[in-house]
A and B are shown apart, each in its own frame.
Chain A
C-alpha cells in the first residue's frame, strides 16, 4: 500500500475528472484503477466496496469514499483549498455548485443522440455565456483579486478553470465577451501544479469519444 489516494472509475472524465483536477492542483499524487467491463464493477459491488453501489470511489486516509461532492469537499478541506471560515466556504460551495451544474450539462452532451445533440450544445453555450460566466466575471471585477474567494487559491478557482476549458472544447471562443475570465484562465493555468496537469502525459483524461461512451453504456 502506497498511501496515495486510489481512484476507481472508468478510464475517462465523467464524474471523476473534477477529483483528478483537485488532487493534481493540490500536488497530491494518486493511483487509478480503471473499470473496463461490467465484471469489474460487479466485483467492487460484491466486495462491499461501494457504499451505494456506485462509482466514483476514492480510497483515501483509510476510507472508501463515494459521492463526488463528499470526496471533493474532503480533499478541499484537507489541502486547504476551502477558504478560511464558514462564510468563505459558503461562497466556494455556491460557486462550485454553479460550475457543477454547467459541467453536468456538458457531460450529458456525450450521451445525446444525433438529433438532440445540436440543441443541447446550444443550451450549453447559452447557459455558459448568460447564466454562469457573467457571474464569475462580475465576482472578479468586483474585488479585482486574482482568485474568486478570499484572495487565495481555492477549490472554486480550480473547478472554474476546468469548466472554462470544457466549454471551450464545445466552442473555442466562448470566453470572447469575458476579459477577466480570459486573464483568470491564463493565471490559473500557470500555477505550477495545474500547468503540470495540463501537459500531455498527465492523468487528465481526454474528452469522451465514441469508444468510451460505448464502454460506459455496457458497464452500467
Chain B
C-alpha cells in the first residue's frame, strides 16, 4: 500500500474528474483503478466497498469515500483549499455548487439522444453566458484579486477553471464577453500544479468518446 489516494472509476471524466483536478491542484499524487466491466462493478458491490453501491470511490486516509461532494469537501479541507472561516467556506460552497450545476449539463451530454444534442449545446451556451459566467466575472471585477475567495487559491478557482475549459471544448468562443475570466483562465492555468495537470501525460482525462459511453452503459445495465 502506497498511502496515496486510490480512485476507482471509469477511464474517463464523468463524476471523478473534479476529484482528479482537485488532488492535482493540491499537488497530491494518486492512483487509479479503472472500471472496465460489469463484473468488476458487481464485485465491488458484493465486497461491500461502495457505501451506496455507486462510484466514484476514493480510498484515502483509511476511509472508503463515496459521493463526489463529500470527497471534494474532504480534500479541500485537508489541503487548505477551503478558505479561512465559515463565511469564506460558504462563498466557496456557493460558487462550487453553481459551477457543478453547469457541469452537470456537460456530464449528461454524451448520454443524450443524437437529436437532442444540438439543443443541449444551445442550452449550455445560454446558461454559461447568462447565468454562471457573469457571476464570476463580476466577483473578479469587484475585488480585483487573483482568486475568487479570500485572495487565496481555493477549490472554487479549481472548479471554475475546469468548467471554463470543459465549456470551451463545446463552445470555443464562449469567453469572448468575459475579459476577467479570460485573464483568470490564464492565471490559474499557470499555477504550477495546474500547469502540470494540463500537460499531456497527466491523469487528466480526455472528453468522453463513444467507447466511454458504451462502457458506462454496459456496466450499469440491469
Contact = CB atoms under 8 A, between A and B. Distances in A.
B31 interface: no
B94 A70 contact: yes
Interface residues of A, number: 29
Contact of B97 (A69, A77, A135): A69
Interface stretch (B65-73, B144-152, B161-169): B65-73
B63 interface: yes
A66 interface: yes
A6 to B, nearest CB: 16
A70 B99 CA distance: 13
Contacts of A70: 90, 93-94, 96-97
B87 interface: yes
Contact of A67 (B74, B86, B98): B98
A135 B54 CA distance: 13
A87 interface: yes
Contact of B63 (A51, A53, A87): A87
A70 B90 CA distance: 6
Contacts of A89: 73-74, 77
Contact of B131 (A52, A69, A87, A131): A52
Which of A51, A61, A77, A101 has the most chain B CB atoms inside 10 A of its CB?
A51
Given A65-B94, A67-B94, A90 B65 contact: yes
Contacts of A51: 94, 98, 135
Interface in A21-78: 51-53, 61, 63, 65-70, 73-74, 77-78
B153 interface: no
Given A87-B63, A90-B65, A132-B52, A78 B70 contact: no
B61 interface: yes
A97 interface: yes
A94 interface: yes
B180 to A, nearest CB: 17
Contacts of B77: 86, 89
Nearest to B52: A98
A93 B93 CA distance: 13
Contacts of A68: 97
Interface string B57-87: 0000101011101100110011000000011
The 10 closest A-B pairs by CB, nearest first: A93-B70, A70-B93, A67-B97, A97-B67, A90-B74, A94-B70, A70-B94, A74-B90, A52-B98, A86-B77
Given A69-B69, A70-B96, A97-B67, 17 more contacts: A51-B135, A63-B90, A70-B93, A70-B94, A73-B73, A74-B89, A86-B74, A87-B63, A89-B73, A90-B63, A93-B74, A94-B70, A96-B70, A131-B52, A131-B53, A132-B52, A135-B51
14 contacts: A52-B101, A52-B131, A53-B131, A63-B87, A66-B94, A67-B93, A70-B93, A70-B97, A73-B89, A74-B93, A87-B61, A90-B70, A90-B73, A94-B65
